[in-house]
Amino acid sequence: KHTSNVNAITLSTNKISTINGFKIYPNPVNNGEFYISTVSNGLKAVQIFDMLGKQVYSKNIGANEIIKTSNLRAGVYILKVVEDDKLATTKLVIK
């Protein structure tokens, strides 16, 4: 059963494995944009949260699409990416 509820996806970690070949670059982000690369390079749901847990970015992106962060202040963020029911979470530093 598919669900679009991100919280449900996050909590059911027992059946979610990390995305194969997950990489973000550049990190730290210094020019207001970054890329995400994965082995399957499929459609991804991208969310960025500040350290207080507030969502500051949310977008579905295609393969090789640039993620623009020029509206975000410098600091440390949490990046969550869902691709094919797999979840990757990492720290994102914006300069």
Tens-place pLDDT, residues 36-59? 999 999 999 999 999 999 999 999
What's the order of all strands across the beta sheet hosting 33-37? 23-25, 33-37, 67-68
| CB contact at 8 A, 66 and 46 | no
pLDDT higher than threshold 50 for residue 3: no
Q: Output the CA torsion sign for 16, 11, 85, 23.
A: negative
Query: Model pTM?
Result: 0.80
Average pLDDT in the chain: 87
Secondary structure tally for the chain: helices H, strands E: 1, 7
- Phi, psi for 10 (deg, rounded to 5): -65, -40
